[in-house]
Amino acid sequence: MGQRFIEILSQKKVNQLFLWRKRYSKPEYPYKVALNLLYEMLVCERMWTEIQRPFNHLLFNSDSVKFKNFQEAHKYIIDLSNEIARKELVQIVESEYHELDSIAGLNWRTIREHVSKAQKGDNEEVQEIELTYYFYTCGIELIYAWAALGYLGINQEIAFSSLTGMIIGGVDYSSYPSLLHHFGLSSTWLYNPLPKLF
């Protein structure tokens, strides 16, 4: 499952960046990429208790599986993320963009600085923002898939390795920043920088 899922995910994220390059003006594009990144990170942060739930149930109740297959469990997680995005975050994401100092171990003040430089035509800064978007949003989507596997009764370590094809030590499965970082790392081997924007 791992390689196929992660390859499809990687292509989806790159395609999204190309789509935004067509949709937005060059100066607007870096901000929109960063704003969408923050939006996804805030949603995942708000969902963290739900993401942990299937694994916590496994510790106490081996009968806690409630979905028939991965697609059903994954749809539940994605639908929940969309609902949280709509109901809780659409109205506040722009103010959070300007006010946050950090999220999930990512220094958000630095992201704002990258965006400011990128909007003035610095291609290296554009590529930094694109890689950051790719790294963290792949990580988020892998977290959602990981939770879906948890709902099928798969333990944390096996779920991680089945999605990534890797066994990595030092992952704190109870920590959003740790899990996000390690899932992001597992997806970067597929990433190639996009052509220069400016």
Across the chain, which has 198 residues, the per-10-residue mean pLDDT values are 82 97 97 98 95 74 71 95 93 95 96 98 97 98 96 92 87 96 94 96
Residue type, 167: I
- Token digits of residue 135: 């790294």
Task: Give the pLDDT score at 60.
Answer: 43
Between CA 28 and CA 23 the distance in angstroms is: 10
Task: Give the pLDDT score at 169.
Answer: 82
Between CA 150 and CA 62 the distance in angstroms is: 11
- Token digits of residue 144: 């959602």
pTM score, whole prediction: 0.93
Within the chain, where are the H helices? 2-23, 29-46, 48-60, 70-84, 93-99, 108-119, 123-151, 156-164, 176-187
Phi/psi of residue 102, each to 5°?
-155, 160
Task: Give the pLDDT score at 59.
Answer: 52
The answer to whether 133 and 37 are in contact (CB under 8 A) is yes
Between CA 172 and CA 183 the distance in angstroms is: 11
The answer to whether 187 and 134 are in contact (CB under 8 A) is yes
Helices vs strands, H then E, count in the chain:
9, 2
